[in-house]
Amino acid sequence: MTARGEARRYLQENVLTYEGNECLTWPYQRTSGGYGLMKLNGSKTTVSRYVCRKMYGAPPTPDHEAAHSCGNGRNGCVTKRHLYWKTHKENEEEKLIHGARAVGERHGRAKLTKDAVREIRKLSGRVPQKEIGAMFGVSQSAVSLIHLGKIWSLA
């Protein structure tokens, strides 16, 4: 168990004073997604959001997120030089660039592989979608979305 005040002390003495460019990893509590987490003023907050606020002031809107230029937020990075305000859409786009967003096979709930999706696409128009879905353990609507190119980009 972490001693009372230890995380806050680490934040003040290490995170906020760190001038390096390498990822500084939060060694204490994390969210289920891997982001540093701590209790400040009676409520839990992500450390990256707190640090971003300290560096750049309040977010432009309440919907802005603390984004990581390094792509390592999910690994607990709290380096102030890596943080800045982005909209949710901008943050998600950047996660794709960094390979930090779980898409395709890397998504925790993915039922298909890229090879399976390629096979599903090959069967388009030759086998009923419901039957294809049964073959791969997915719904007919998922097969339809794959055929339409609305889900599962293979790029």
pLDDT higher than threshold 60 for residue 46: yes
Q: Where in the chain is the domain with CATH 3.90.75?
A: 6-101
- Closest of 41, 53, 63 to residue 15, by C-alpha: 53
pLDDT above 90 for 41: no
Angstrom distance (rounded) from CA 113 to CA 136: 10
pLDDT tens string 80-97 = 999 999 988 887 777 666
pLDDT at 20: 93
- Mean pLDDT across the chain, nearest whole number? 85
Backbone φ, ψ for residue 17 (5° rounding):
-100, -10
HEC string for the chain:
CCCCCHHHHHHHHHHCCCCCCCCCECCCCECCCCCEEEEECCEEEEHHHHHHHHHHCCCCCCCCEEEECCCCHHHCECCHHHEEEECHHHHHHHHHHHCCCCCHHHCCCCCCCHHHHHHHHHCCCCCCHHHHHHHHCCCHHHHHHHHCCCCCCCC
Q: What are phi and psi of 25, to 5 degrees?
A: -90, 130
- pLDDT (average), residues 98-115: 60
Once rounded to an integer, what is the mean pLDDT over residues 50-77? 91
In this prediction the pTM is: 0.62
pLDDT score for 101: 52
Q: What is the CATH code of the structural domain delimited by 6-101?
A: 3.90.75
> Over 70: is that where the pLDDT of 104 sits?
no
- The predicted pLDDT at position 14 comes to 96
